[in-house]
A and B are shown apart, each in its own frame.
Chain A
Amino acid sequence: MKRTNDLRRQQKSIVLAGLTLFGLVLFVLQLWLFVTTLEESLAGHVKLSWATAFAGVVLVAVDCWMLNGIYKLDRGP
């Protein structure tokens, strides 16, 4: 039983590390989208700036979904 718990704990740790790394990648993407939106809106390219803003919101939604998953992971068996 103890061995099963250890294995599960180890598995959770790996999943958490993976999610954190993916979250970091998403954060870097969001920084890039932020700068791109700034450049495009200054240049007057309205459609492109709204597209990048929309992509930023989608990335936050993915972040929230992953955070929810992490909490569920903590509550799980």
Chain B
Amino acid sequence: MSTQQEVQSDFPIDWEEDHYVSRRDFFKFLTLAGGGLAAGTVTMAALGSRPRSHIEFEPKMIARKDAVGIGRSITFSYPREHDICLLVRPTENEFFAYKQRCTHLSCPVEWQPERGRLYCPCHNGAFDIRSGAVLQGPPPRPLPAIVFEMRGEEVWATGIREGEQA
């Protein structure tokens, strides 16, 4: 059958000459499409199971240690100008840094020293200061942590680590 005849057969001008897909073929197509979707779901689950990555960025000085009082917090930008983060100093020798955007709807979280947690006032979400894990509310995953190191009296950010769900 020539190409022209094939096209005429597949797309006939007269309604009566058109041929329809049989129910068997339709079911076969459904099964094939379902198989594709199942393969997609398995792939998605496998990709979601991979450990969350630690992404390194160019090191940047966040603050001097003495610029953050004990029980206080400061904000800083990392890695880009509009990525606002929070550096918290709950005790004299402890520092924690997280992205300030709540993982629910990106409201800015705030440090609550009296309860030792990061709190999102939009929908009552709260995160543990030590792990960034969700303590309450609708946030679906922990806060991404800023990886930092002490260089003398200075705190330097070196990367971001996505939070693992507990």
Contact = CB atoms under 8 A, between A and B. Distances in A.
Contacts of B141: 43-44
B31 A63 contact: yes
Chain B interface helix/strand/loop/mixed: helix
Given A38-B44, A50-B49, A56 B37 contact: yes
B31 A43 contact: no
Interface in B108-166: 140-142, 163-165
Contacts of A45: 48, 140, 165
A44 B23 contact: no
Chain B interface size, as a band, is: 20 to 34
B165 A56 contact: no
A18 to B, nearest CB: 11
A44 B134 CA distance: 12
Contacts of A40: 48
B41 A43 contact: no
B38 A16 contact: no
Interface string B39-63: 0111011011100100000000000
A30 B30 CA distance: 11
A37 B27 contact: no
Chain A interface helix/strand/loop/mixed: helix
A7 interface: no
A56 B23 contact: no
B46 to A, nearest CB: 8
A36 to B, nearest CB: 8
Which 8 pairs across A and B sit closest by C-beta, in order of nearness? A41-B48, A44-B165, A43-B140, A53-B45, A56-B41, A56-B38, A49-B45, A53-B41
28 contacts: A16-B24, A19-B27, A20-B26, A23-B30, A26-B34, A27-B30, A27-B33, A34-B44, A37-B41, A37-B45, A41-B44, A41-B47, A41-B48, A43-B141, A44-B52, A46-B165, A49-B45, A49-B48, A50-B49, A53-B38, A53-B41, A56-B41, A56-B42, A57-B41, A63-B30, A63-B31, A63-B34, A74-B24
